[in-house]
Amino acid sequence: MSTEIIDPRYIDVDQWPTETAMEAMVEGQLAAVAAVKGQVAAIARAADAAAQRLGRIGRLVYVGAGTSGRIAVQDGVELFPTYNWPQERLVFLMAGGLGALTESAEGAEDDVVAGRQEIADAKVGPNDVVIGVAASGRTPYTISAIETARQAGALTIGISNNPNARLLDAAEHGLVIDTGAEIVAGSTRMKAGTAQKVILNMVSTAIMLRRGLVHQGRMVNMRVSNDKLLNRAREMVRDIAHVDGAAAARALDAADLEIKPAVLVALGASPAAAHTLLTENDDSLGGAIRALRKDAVVDA
């Protein structure tokens, strides 16, 4: 596996001056990010398919072991505070259990039975999207989970840093970012981990775009949980609806601090009508605004 080989360029890296070693690390990180570019089309196809499959009820299921599992969980846990993606629509399957996020669970990554059973216990089905991450692409726990999920009808995405890996064949969408040898052999928390985080960021963000949780480059499904975010929400309503700050604040209060319906309220809809418009337009604020304006023209 390319992620495990020793690169002769770095055989004496422990003897280098720290600054020189860090320069090599930066170059490695930049190369890892650059390696993603060649897979953009494949990543986009996976994200589009995932967004369509998830619909209004599907769940995002993240699967992994060790470093890869921790990176996967990190991506998923950010979706609730950032996009208000419902927590009940997130599932995290980590080899060795979630305790392995902070403590090593030796041997857990080899547990094929656990991978299968945890997918079954989570009742993964056709509405769900399961993302398995493994730098080697051959982690038994992750592969068995992906295979079981696919058999259950879920859409599956496999992310690996080694080409021709079994995980890529097991998943419906196999995404490979060949980041090559690490500066410290086998330390996939470096280049491989960076590339994994980039791909996961891209996939989950694209899903949020396609699910209508972003409008005009703004996080309009954001969860308002503190004063800073309240001010940001008021600014969004003000700018999208083209109203003054006071009107934006009133609309946001009327919509129980939900930004998308607040924009529609600021544009003249009642709170109930705002929610109906969003439901009828698959939660797309743009679609709801167009429908509201069309109704206004018809009524006129």
Active site residues: 78, 109
What's the token pair of residue 115?
């991978």
Cβ atoms of residues 168 and 127 within 8 Å: no
CA-to-CA dists, residue 225 to 7, 237, 285, angstroms: 47, 16, 21
CB 143 within 8 A of CB 166: yes
CA 190 – CA 196 distance, rounded (Å): 10
**Type of residue numbered 84:** N
Is residue 141 within 8 Å of 109, Cβ to Cβ? Answer: yes
Q: What are phi and psi of 128, to 5 degrees?
A: -95, 160
CA atoms within 13 A on the CB side of 60: 26
DSSP 75: H
Nearest partner of 139 among 204, 97, 92, 94, judged by Cα: 94
